[in-house]
Amino acid sequence: MDVTSDPSAPWIVAGLGNPGPEYAMNRHNVGFMVADLLAERIGGRFKRAGKAQAQVVEGRIGPPGPLNRRVILVKPMSFMNLSGGPVNALKDFYKVPVASIVAVHDELDIDYGTLRLKLGGGDNGHNGLKSMTKVMGADYHRVRFGIGRPPGRMPVADFVLRDFGATERKELDYLVDRAADAVECLVIEGLERAQGTYNS
């Protein structure tokens, strides 16, 4: 059965990032940025989720009727390389199948601002995905937000933990908005439609 066919079944949308104001505008935190915008759209505020090391917003997206979907927006508060534990705990608590989980994350091997949506696959060295795959397998959806490669010989770790540059920031709000649209399309209309619309 297509995981999008049961409107009563919740989805988990996990924006990946690092907690704390010093990381807020890092390239590695674009998943948090998208999650924050989605929370704003549904009129919710992130709150600590019980024993899970995460902040959560529950709400609904989509028009009234059969396309309306229940979503749990998640920001793991465990730091990137331990993202899997909080997401897995919430998966079990809400009884969400792995295929109804979306990870929103930065992607080095895609040009800045380009989106790629897919189901399953490798982690491409991304520590957040590596952690999620380790605890629950790889069969979750990904919304991959391109940040490009580091310039020159800059180490990858330094690049992803730096803020977006001034030129990048001029487009960032628009690109985060588009990524949030892509998440909504994926959850409401399914992967194929979302890929056709947002993969570029």
Q: What residues are labeled active site?
A: 28
Q: Rounded to an integer, what distance in angstroms lies between the CA atom of residue 72 and that of residue 140?
A: 15
CA-to-CA distance for 112 and 184, rounded, in angstroms?
A: 21
Token pair of 120, please?
A: 């399953």
In DSSP notation, 88-134 reads HHHHHHHT--GGGEEEEEEETTS-TT-EEEEES---TT-HHHHHHHH
Q: Nearest-CA neighbor of 60 among 42, 44, 46, 45? A: 42
What secondary structure letter does DSSP report for 148?
-
CA angle (34, 35, 38) in 5-degree steps? 90
Q: Is the dihedral of CA 54, 129, 100, 88 positive or negative?
A: negative
The structure tokens listed for 86 are 């909080």
CB 69 within 8 A of CB 62: yes
